[in-house]
Chains A and B, each alone.
Chain A
Amino acid sequence: MQDPKTYRYSFIFLLAALVVALSVNICLGSVSIPFTETLRSIFGETLENTAWEYIIWNYRIPKAFTAVLVGAGLSLSGLLMQTLFRNPLAGPFVLGISSGASLGAAFLIMGSATLTSLFGFSFITDVSLAIVSSIGSFLVLLAVITVASKVKDTMALLIIGLMFGSISAAIVSVLSYFSNAEKLQQFVYWSFGSVGNLSWHQLGLLFIIVFLGILLSIFSIKSLNAFLLGENYAKSLGVNLIRSRYQIIIATGLLAGAITAFAGPIAFVGLAVPHLTRQIFNTTEHRILVPAVLIYGAILMLICDTITQLPNSAEVFPINAITSILGAPVVIWLLVRKRKMVF
């Protein structure tokens, strides 16, 4: 077991990078706001330009914090899955959580005509979209947990998760096929992911759920370390296997479900960040890895969001494209160098 103190400087460096990424993210955007004005506003001074002030406080800052929560939460759930399945290619969405959320969103957006005719009113609001995609995630998760109680083998569980994902994706395809252009467009835009336009209220809700997920993970650190050594070894260490497994799966569900609900299915972060983190922190000790992936994920997401916003231009790139462009090479590199991985 390594001592977290060994990595003190790496943590200081990461935290400094986080502060820089956060500042850069808040200072840059489609509208060019002078750096000094941004700082004045952040330190509570009132700006003459009320539109700037509004943009900084009610668009950029919530967006930056959303990016932090999304990056941190997804990276952590990625780490949890990789450890639980002892598989370097596992990610938060391996269990079909993202497909479940997409299924919920697809039913709401593209099946809303059916829903309207069934219930006499249309459901689509920001809140209902969040609720339905969370329900979608949790239903898939519930199915996986049910199977998990029957299947003792973690690898089988991984495959079952993938199968649930495929089923959800297939239903989404069917819904898409019979959907009109406008609804399809809306669903596609949802699937691009976005960390902007959350109100402080929604952000508060997301924060609470992500915080719960992080707490659950912290309580699981001991069993996470044990899991890496194999299930039998974990048992001999006195880890309650079944309870720990549920705890980890629920933490992942909370993190990935809530984030997908509010920000759409964000790709790759969950898979790539734990590996990037292990490159810096050459360890398997979760007391180090958990805080490290949280900070690393937040930094990466802030950088991705800054890139999507293309300073001083109207166009906004879909954030999923950027995360994948950064994430995909990492995955490829992982597959190529699999033998040299820290895992």
Chain B
Amino acid sequence: MKNSILILVFCLFIACKTDKKNDSPLQSAPPTKIEINHAKGFSIETTNNGLTIIEVSSAWPGATTSFKYALAPKNKMASITLNKEEYDAIVATPIERLIVTSTTHIPSLDALGVTNKLVGFPKTSLISSENTRKLIDAGHIKELGNNETLNTEIAISLRPEVLVGFGINNQNKAYETIIRSNIPVVYNGDWTEESPLGKAEWVKFFAPFFGLETKADSIFKSIEKSYEQTKAIVKDVTKKPTVLTGGLYKDVWHVAGGKSWMAQFLQDAKTDYLWKETQETGGISQSLETVLATAQHADFWLNPSILTSYAEVEESNEHYTQFDAYKNKTIFSNTIAKGATGGLLYYELGPMRPDLVLKDLIHIFHPELLPDHQLFFFKPLE
């Protein structure tokens, strides 16, 4: 009965592996809140015994649970007692090795000057940052497959001190294995943030892991100042051009919702976005008929799916040629500017540099106000 021997051995394996837990009582201290002015998805508090508590309330859209992470300085680890049950992860700082999972995390690491601490990333080809690409090419940053089916073996073997994850829910089996291997996983919800400056403020989320809070604060302040100054350029504009966004996929046209990130940029750039009245924060599915009726005469058209030239526009759907923006050659797209390996610059760096996005848009819609600006994210179709 070799079968039963196998089963017996298997049961022994189960019996041998038990989780270790070491709980200790919590030492309380009155916390100080770090200033977060625009981002709604996270908060940071510091206690007088050197502990930093990050709370992520919007890990994914419609999240109903908050995640609480405790960051304790390595040199004080011995003196700080924490109740493990109270936190979703405990991280010893400053960290020397980390894994991040979204290209939106890369600009924060670049800005803080800690890209060399990154040891692994799923789908490295999506990264466009030149600085990070050098490290990938040098083999310093390892490939981890893709985020939905993260290569657990490689992730664990890299021995990161933290994995910054993202997901549409907490359904990532690989993350669970990584947590069981005592590598803390923290969720970053930067992509759920709706306002341009809110997204950029997530640089402050990364700072405490490296003890760079002051640096992050000054980085964000300069972006905030630049954004406000750019916004002020168009404050007296009265003639707002009308704008259409998105394109067809099969027979559904996805336009940006009236409360989306894109729509807020369009509002700050003083345009009349034709779907500004809608309440959606993501995309809205529309039929071709509706879009044609609403936006045939729009002055500008942004991001027609992944099309890069007027020839492609005509080829992909003959109805596209009915739009004034096609006839007047006023179509611009954020999917043309790509990194060395084909990653889209806009989706990587755009969230961190809303000031640059806004400058691009003002240059497109009101060229007389920013005549010398070189388009960075948005390019005209060929």
Residues of A near any B CB (own CB < 8 A): 15, 18, 29-31, 51-52, 54-55, 57-61, 65, 109, 112-113, 116, 120-122, 124-126, 129, 180, 182-183, 185-186, 189, 192, 194, 196-200, 203-204, 207, 211, 291, 294-295, 314-316, 318
Q: Mark B142-155, 1 if CB is under 8 A from A, else 0.
A: 11110011011110
Shortest CB distance B157–A (Å)? 4
| Contacts A120-B64, A121-B64; A58 near B145 (Cβ below 8 A) | no
Shortest CB distance A209–B (Å)? 14
Residue in contact with B176 in the complex, picked from A126, A315, A318, CB distance below 8 Å: A126
| Contacts A29-B153, A57-B17, A316-B149; A194 near B173 (Cβ below 8 A) | yes
> What class of interface size applies to chain B in its complex with A?
35 or more
Residue of B nearest to A318 (CB): B149
Q: Which residues of chain A are near B171, meaning CB under 8 Å?
A: 109, 124-126, 129, 186
Q: Which residues of chain B are near A189, meaning CB under 8 Å?
A: 148-149
* Complex contact A203–B14 (CB within 8 A): yes
Is B94 interfacial (CB-CB < 8 Å)? Answer: no
| Contacts A125-B170, A199-B177, A207-B10; A59 near B151 (Cβ below 8 A) | no
| Contacts A15-B2, A54-B181; A126 near B173 (Cβ below 8 A) | yes
Q: Which residues of chain A are near B148, meaning CB under 8 Å?
A: 185-186, 189
| Contacts A122-B62, A126-B173, A199-B176; A204 near B154 (Cβ below 8 A) | no
Q: Which residues of chain A are near B154, meaning CB under 8 Å?
A: 30-31, 314
- What 9 A-B pairs are tightest by C-beta distance, nearest first? A197-B173, A314-B143, A124-B169, A182-B168, A31-B157, A30-B153, A31-B153, A189-B148, A54-B181
Residue of B nearest to A309 (CB): B153
Contacts A/B (CB < 8 Å), 29 sampled: A30-B153, A30-B154, A51-B158, A51-B159, A52-B157, A54-B156, A55-B152, A55-B157, A59-B153, A61-B13, A65-B10, A122-B65, A125-B170, A126-B176, A129-B171, A180-B282, A180-B283, A182-B168, A185-B148, A186-B148, A186-B171, A196-B174, A197-B152, A197-B173, A199-B176, A200-B17, A204-B14, A315-B145, A316-B151
Bound CA span A31–B154, Å: 6
* Complex contact A194–B149 (CB within 8 A): yes
| Contacts A59-B156, A180-B282, A316-B149; A294 near B3 (Cβ below 8 A) | yes
Shortest CB distance A10–B (Å)? 13
Shortest CB distance A212–B (Å)? 13
Bound CA span A6–B157, Å: 48
* Complex contact A58–B177 (CB within 8 A): yes
Is B180 interfacial (CB-CB < 8 Å)? Answer: yes
Q: Is the interface of B mostly helix, strand, loop or mixed?
A: mixed
Q: Which residues of chain B are near A18, meaning CB under 8 Å?
A: 6
Residue of B nearest to A44 (CB): B16
Bound CA span A312–B162, Å: 23
Shortest CB distance A14–B (Å)? 10
| Contacts A122-B62, A186-B168; A200 near B151 (Cβ below 8 A) | no
| Contacts A51-B157, A58-B17, A122-B62; A196 near B152 (Cβ below 8 A) | yes
Q: Which residues of chain B are near A197, meaning CB under 8 Å?
A: 152, 173-174, 176-177
Shortest CB distance B282–A (Å)? 7
Q: Which residues of chain B are near A183, meaning CB under 8 Å?
A: 168
Query: Among the interface residues A15, A30, A294, A295, which one has the most CB atoms of the partner chain B within 10 A?
Result: A30
B128-154 contacts to A (CB < 8 Å): 142-145, 148-149, 151-154
Q: Which residues of chain B are near A52, meaning CB under 8 Å?
A: 157
Q: Mark B250-280, 1 if CB is under 8 A from A, else 0.
A: 0000000000000000000000000000000
* Complex contact B14–A200 (CB within 8 A): yes
* Complex contact B3–A291 (CB within 8 A): yes
Bound CA span A186–B171, Å: 9
* Complex contact B177–A59 (CB within 8 A): yes
Q: Which residues of chain A are near B149, meaning CB under 8 Å?
A: 189, 192, 194, 316, 318
Residue of B nearest to A189 (CB): B148
Q: Which residues of chain B are near A180, meaning CB under 8 Å?
A: 282-283
Residue in contact with A196 in the complex, picked from B2, B157, B159, B173, CB distance below 8 Å: B173
Residue in contact with B156 in the complex, picked from A51, A61, A211, A295, CB distance below 8 Å: A51
Residue of B nearest to A128 (CB): B171
Shortest CB distance B188–A (Å)? 15
Shortest CB distance A246–B (Å)? 26
